[in-house]
Structure 1
């Protein structure tokens, strides 16, 4: 299976929908469960920046969790069949914690359990039903794909056929997601689903009309507000916009300001030492820099590394000749935040007046764009 050459910086955290006095009771029944003495069930969810893990004993295939939350939250149930602990547990079920009574009815294990609840879990069940055929097809293709030896050239045709089939089903999944949003604009989970459709690099022309289809109430949920903010920040760094200004120290401690590059074409290149696709792009950027720097082209590398030594080593190993900045958070804010960067590699080409004229030029696309600007006789 081909892997997308994009590293997501911020995993989709469980979306939270505001509620008042959100006390919940979660009752689970697993019919036919062959349990050992001391079998434990776990409830895992995020509360702010913390992961909360609760546990309880399973008695005769039944267990209950209760609690009070200020917000509805996405959560996971886990069942430890062997006593090996949560880390080695493979039996999980996704659901929502919401105000009221939530029930789960399963047979033998959690993962195929049916969840019912007052509002949001009913929405999730409707969504799951819509996706069922598509999900089954994706699982079937993946199962066949996993058995193929990529080194076996005789299976290349089958590999390509499965790749094409998988790609088609991913497109079907997106169409189904959009269908659900259009048919359920007042469903809380529609904002979350739209965020999945948007992905880490938002296409404003595609996502904004769908966002405005959501009801005003859903746009005010946590997921809705987050997506709205992401749309706004993406629009602020779209082609035609003025690039956000910034100033930070480079590798030598010299203060670097974007304004210092005014009058030249500048590629702002977001990357990191641990990002393999970024490292694969570096030779193309170096080649473009060497070719066009005398024409008025500069590159400003902005690393999202958390470990300074790893960053410095990568700069040396890749022999990066242009200015480098480590994007450490200052007062909780990073340059990447101002450019709505949630996945790397990403880059922005800035003209001499500070306007963004191109985004995400990959591979030979950068060379082609610079030839268009400076002329092709190089």
Structure 2
């Protein structure tokens, strides 16, 4: 589980007339923003534009974009730890209001789909607020944290399950609504189990098949099957930080631990301790490791690793290598580890380095 709130809220971003030019128009009034910088990423079928906005100290901001043919606009807040994705619909101006600490309860006005989603989240506000409190508790150091962690985690899992049930009920009752696809994307895009997605997709109204998220979900299911337990690991050709070529064939006849990480992922830092143990405990001729980090500054990463006693085989996101690997291995949460056996098959997929260590011990220390 990523230790942050990862939120995808879909809204309709309006087009208004200004002479002969159409623009996206989005207004926001958010409370409890600690960082006033907002990053907006506009994406179309064949183009992408990134803009940086500085909102006022009272949390107010306005975004306009002259071109109106983008498929989505993703807004990143609080050093990119919270984000909302909005989708355009002609003729609707979008207004966001609410507390950034509970982003799913930010009210979004403008557009039918947008308002249906806001109504759904509002109906289940008690669960969403409790979820945020539990996540904050897990991230807050205290003397009783170790004692309470198991109970807190169990409560969090239970709330996630309840929210999934609410989303499932909405989807089954509203098969012709784009909001149903949004909720499928939000609650059931689990790379380890796509059974509900495979069940929902045929239930959706045929009118939704042109909605690009529908196509993304179909593609997601196909990718998930490609990296299921027992599947042949997808091949790759990369260049590591030492400018050496790295491919799946580089690790033939040995076990490979493929680990996805990022510098801003707190859980990744804790998980790296287990990677250290694995690296030291198992001989290189039996177990090798490749780290895929979403760092973009390769030179800086290389300089940091110079002080490490372990020489890590690491690939950064320079030239988009990390991003392409995320897509290839269908990674939608960090950290994520794949254990690939000496025949090139995926035998474990987990976010827990300790689990990888235990599996390797069972296999290699029989």
TM-score, length of structure 2 as denominator length:
0.67
Compute the displacement of 1:50 (Å).
Answer: 3.3
- Paired position in structure 2 for 1:355: 345
Listed as ranges, the gaps of 5+ residues in structure 2 are 14-21, 28-39, 54-63, 79-83, 98-104
Q: Computing the radius of gyration over CA atoms, which structure comes out larger, 1 or 2?
A: 1
Residue pairs, 1:207-356, within 5 angstroms:
207-293=197-283, 296-316=286-306, 319-329=309-319, 334-356=324-346
Q: Report the secondary structure of 2:175's partner residue.
A: coil
Is residue 98 from structure 1 mapped to residue 97 from structure 2 by the alignment?
no
1:195-253: per-residue Cα shift (whole Å, max 9, x none)? 11135756323433223332333233122122222222222112111111122223332
Is the Cα contact below 8 Å between 2:241 and 2:315 reproduced in 1?
A: yes
Shift in alpha-carbon separation, 1:150–1:316, aligned structure 2, 3 A: same
Is the Cα contact below 8 Å between 2:258 and 2:289 reproduced in 1?
A: yes
Residue pairs, 1:91-240, within 5 angstroms:
98-99=89-90, 115=109, 121-136=111-126, 138-139=128-129, 168-199=158-189, 201=191, 203-240=193-230
The number of aligned residues is: 325
TM-score, length of structure 1 as denominator length:
0.65
Distance of 2:359 and 2:278 partners within structure 1: 10
1:133-186: per-residue Cα shift (whole Å, max 9, x none)? 421454478689989x96777999999988776654443222111111111111
Compute the displacement of 1:192 (Å).
Answer: 1.4
Is the Cα contact below 8 Å between 1:219 and 1:228 reproduced in 2?
A: no
Is the Cα contact below 8 Å between 2:10 and 2:87 reproduced in 1?
A: no
- Paired position in structure 2 for 1:36: none
Shift in alpha-carbon separation, 1:184–1:295, aligned structure 2, 3 A: same
Shift in alpha-carbon separation, 1:46–1:293, aligned structure 2, 3 A: same
Listed as ranges, the gaps of 5+ residues in structure 1 are 18-22, 29-43, 55-64, 77-86, 88-92
Q: Report the secondary structure of 1:343's partner residue.
A: coil
